[in-house]
Amino acid sequence: MGLLGKTIGVAPIGCSVVAHQFMNVDMCEAAHGRAPAVASGIRRVHPERVVFTYQGDGDLASIGMGEIVHAAARGEKFTTFFINNGIYGMTGGQMAPTTLIGQRSTTSVDGRTREQAGMPLKICELLATLDGPDYIERVSLDSPAHIRAAKKAVRKAFEYQLAGKGFTFVELLSTCPTNWGLTPPEAMKRMREEVAAYYPLGVYKDTGKEAE
Amino acid sequence: MAKRFKVIFDRERCKGCELCRSFCPKQIIAMDTQVNAKGYCPAMITDQESCIGCQSCATVCPDCAIEIYQLEEGEA
Amino acid sequence: MSEKVLMKGNEAFAEAVIRGGVRFYFGYPITPQSEIPEFMSRELPKRGGKFLQAESELGAINMAYGCGAAGGNGFISSSSPGIALMQEGMSFLCGAEVPVTLLNVSRGGPGIGSIQPGQADYNQVTRGGGNGDYRIPVFAPASIQEAVDILYEAPGIADKYRNPVMVLADGLMGQMMEPVVLPEPRHAFTSEEIPAAKPWAISGSEKGERSVVKSLRLQPEVLEAHVEHLYEKYAEMEKELERVECENLEGAEVVFVAFGTMARLAREAMEMLEAQGIKAGMIRPISLWPYPYKAFDGIDFNTTKAVISVELSMGQMLQDINLGVKGRVPVRLIHRVGGMLPTSLEVVEKTKKIYKRHAARQHQLLSRLHPRRRTPHHHGDAG
């Protein structure tokens, strides 16, 4: 897309704190959960650049819920990639806000229960209630076909940003074989069968399509 | 004549997660019995000629360790 | 062309940072500084800047972090509990070496405390509440003019050291009106100028090497080297940013130490004491970090009976004063808290009590130590 020399990224706290080592663009780290606020600040200084945040489920859906909701509501002109694997990876497999009912973690050893920890958060559905965002889609990285669909969603989010639209959001269901205690192929299977059942894939908001 | 492909695995980059093997529609990927420098059994192709170039293996590879080339006629 | 105008403190502060080169404001409403975001929301768009009301103080400090990392000159104002919420951000700003100008129009605490003036943020701003080894220069002006001058200079200091800079005022200063001379507006970098002016900033431009602004350093030896580097910077700041005003130290019988509005009150008390035959001097720290410890060597220890801190806190500055005085003379405290302000008369009366007690004690001490040297001269000295 030719964005390499004109893009600024924000890495979160979590497994992807070192995202700046893997993406060859100008990047900064944000405090835990604050990436949308940091990106809002960057956006004020460089209105003509492409800006994105890359955040996990603990970062975005737990500690950073205030920042993401308000950035979305403001229709901030940046893209958030939300990597949802339903677990705290970096700290060693604790329960996340998106951990499914029944799923084991190091802080829910017998599986998450509604009584003890409440229900998992559905972020796409929640953000889609706002008028600020222009594009919200949930994709899954569970198979070659779905990975190709995810690439299309990523591209579309950037295209919307380049076209001057407001907030764009792509949730990517992702595995964490290590902390799920499964082999990578088993983790992919669980994601297809169990995770996507609770977090349905699809486009939750698309103002470009609505306008057509 | 049917298109022919060559699949190259970066042995040292591979961590043996077996995702490529599980998604290969032709079932022509296997895990090596020899470990790489990091101690993983890397993926390898067992039947190059049967590859249909679908790129499923390269798409799912989390470590970008697979490259696929389409062969010209007569190329090996 | 410098102009003299009558301005309310909070609006003068805001005007001064804009003239100092700030073009981005991030804040969250909190008493007693809400005139600042109000002023910024009106003025910044007119001057090519941007105003953004954050969802919280956490949002505000991190927006300023993004702005500073991207090369912009950002400004944040808040008050004590809001500043407390921003402490995490300050640690990140220092660790990642991101400049920002901060203004704390402080109020009473702990907790939600009160909205009345207070100085109980002394430890919060000089010691910090964030994690890790870091320092933030803090300036405590005593007049609106001094605040204007420091706020005008602050964005430049922040840029020079790539570090946050804080100005500490209080609700009293924010609300009062004084005539001020406003300095000439300084050039503010445009987004096109940033890649050349601040090559370290994440400007998303093709400038050769890419920029990464971060505070994570997982390898111990790398983090150690980084912290050492930060402390070399802080040593430079200690040399260059220390500011203090000393008055009447020669021959003074008591020396006040006070900053901000309490220094104004202490000055009134000095004059009243002088009229009553007690010579009082004052050390007024303008920079609270770096603290002007050396200024205390200028105290006339032959004449001074006590050093008195006048504070709107339970004596948070005493530790620094003691480090300056080094036990050479007793250090005492006159304070009010909770938003209560002492009158100058109250300070005078309390000072006289302290003075009499210590003058008598010094006399007894001298009698015991040097019985043969006891002369009417000493009686007179202590009287």
Residue ranges in chain C modelled with pLDDT below 50: 374-383
- Backbone phi, psi, residue C86, to 5°: -90, 0
- C and B touch with 3+ CB pairs <8 Å, answer no
Residue of A nearest to B19 (CA): A185
For the domain spanning A4-211, the CATH number is: 3.40.50.970
- Asked if the C-beta of C161 comes within 8 angstroms of chain A's C-beta atoms, the answer is no
- C and A touch with 3+ CB pairs <8 Å, answer yes
What homologous superfamily does CATH list for C3-241? Thiamin diphosphate (ThDP)-binding fold, Pyr/PP domains (3.40.50.970)
Do the chains contact at C67 and A30, CB–CB below 8 Å? no
- Backbone phi, psi, residue A53, to 5°: -115, 155
Q: Are B29 and B20 in contact (CB under 8 A)?
A: yes
Residue C319, judged by CB atoms within 10 A of its CB (0-12, 13-18, 19+), counts as: middle
Contact partners of A by the rule of 3+ C-beta pairs under 8 A?
A: B, C
Q: Both tokens of residue C327?
A: 């036990």
Do the chains contact at C66 and A24, CB–CB below 8 Å? no
Of B17, B23, B62, the CB nearest to A144: B23
CA–CA dist C362, C271 (Å, integer): 24
Mutation for testing the A interface, residue in B27, B60, B63 having most A CBs under 10 Å: B60
Q: What is the pLDDT of residue C372?
A: 55
Q: With contacts defined as CB-CB under 8 Å, which chain C residues touch A47?
A: 191
Give the pLDDT mean for B59-67: 95
Of A6, A34, A51, the CB nearest to C62: A34
Q: What is the pLDDT of residue B1?
A: 63
What is the three-state SS of C178-223?
EEEEECCCCCCCCCCCHHHHCCCCCCCCCCCCCCEECCCCCCHHHH
| % residues pLDDT > 70 (chain B) | 97
Q: Both tokens of residue A137?
A: 């889609």
- The span from the first CA to the last CA of chain A, in angstroms, equals 24
Q: With contacts defined as CB-CB under 8 Å, which chain A residues touch B62?
A: 184
Beta carbons within 8 Å of B25's beta carbon, 6+ residues apart: B52, B54, B56
Do the chains contact at B55 and A188, CB–CB below 8 Å? no
> Residue B29 has what DSSP assignment?
E
Do the chains contact at A70 and C59, CB–CB below 8 Å? yes
**CA Rg value for chain C:** 23
Q: How far is A113 from chain C (nearest CA, A)?
A: 31
- Asked if the C-beta of C216 comes within 8 angstroms of chain A's C-beta atoms, the answer is yes
Do the chains contact at A42 and C70, CB–CB below 8 Å? yes
- Backbone phi, psi, residue B33, to 5°: -90, -15
| Local confidence band at A2 (pLDDT 50, 70, 90 cut-offs) | confident
CA–CA dist C89, A130 (Å, integer): 28
CB atoms within 10 A of CB C258: 27
Of A8, A17, A67, the CB nearest to C202: A8
**Residue that has been written with the tokens 């990285």 in this structure:** A141
Residue of A nearest to C22 (CA): A45
| % residues pLDDT > 90 (chain B) | 89
Task: Output the CA–CA distances (angstroms, integers) from residue C111 to C43, C59, C114, C297, C339, in the order listed.
Answer: 32, 20, 9, 37, 14
CA–CA dist A17, A40 (Å, integer): 19
Q: With contacts defined as CB-CB under 8 Å, which chain C residues touch A24?
A: 210
Provide the residue count of chain B.
76
pLDDT averaged over every residue in chain A? 95
Percentages of chain C per state (helix, strand, coil), in multiples of 5 = 45, 20, 35
What are the tens digits of pLDDT across the range A58-95?
999 999 999 999 999 999 999 999 999 999 998 999 99
Q: Where are the domains of chain B?
A: 4-71
Beta carbons within 8 Å of C146's beta carbon, 6+ residues apart: C286
Q: Are C286 and C165 in contact (CB under 8 A)?
A: no
Do the chains contact at B55 and A183, CB–CB below 8 Å? no
Residue of A nearest to B22 (CA): A185
> Residue C7 has what DSSP assignment?
E
What are the tens digits of pLDDT across the range A109-136?
999 999 999 999 999 999 999 999 999 9
Q: How far is A144 from chain B (nearest CA, A)?
A: 5
Residue of A nearest to C50 (CA): A44
Contact partners of B by the rule of 3+ C-beta pairs under 8 A?
A: A
Task: With a cut of 90, say whether residue A209 has pLDDT above it.
Answer: no
Q: Where are the domains of chain C?
A: 3-241, 246-382
- Backbone phi, psi, residue C379, to 5°: -55, -45
Of B18, B59, B62, the CB nearest to A144: B59
Interface of C with A in 94-153 (CB under 8 A): 96
What are the tens digits of pLDDT across the range B2-27?
789 999 999 999 999 999 999 999 99
- Asked if the C-beta of C67 comes within 8 angstroms of chain A's C-beta atoms, the answer is yes
- Backbone phi, psi, residue C4, to 5°: -100, 120
Q: What is the pLDDT of residue C209?
A: 84
CA–CA dist C240, C283 (Å, integer): 19
CA–CA dist A59, A53 (Å, integer): 11
Prior bond of A144 cis (ω within 30°) = no
Closest CA to C165 of C229, C104, C232: C104
Give the pLDDT mean for A94-109: 96
Q: Torsion angle of alpha carbons A121, A126, A127, A132, nearest 10°?
A: -150
Q: What is the pLDDT of residue A174?
A: 97
Overall fold of domain B4-71: Alpha-Beta Plaits (3.30.70)
Residue C4, judged by CB atoms within 10 A of its CB (0-12, 13-18, 19+), counts as: exposed
Residue B57, judged by CB atoms within 10 A of its CB (0-12, 13-18, 19+), counts as: buried
Residue of C nearest to A7 (CA): C204
Mutation for testing the B interface, residue in A178, A180, A188, A192 having most B CBs under 10 Å: A188
pLDDT averaged over every residue in chain C? 93
CA–CA dist C375, A149 (Å, integer): 98
Beta carbons within 8 Å of C184's beta carbon, 6+ residues apart: C1, C2, C19
CA–CA dist C228, C240 (Å, integer): 19
For the domain spanning C246-382, the CATH number is: 3.40.50.920
Of A6, A11, A41, the CB nearest to C66: A41
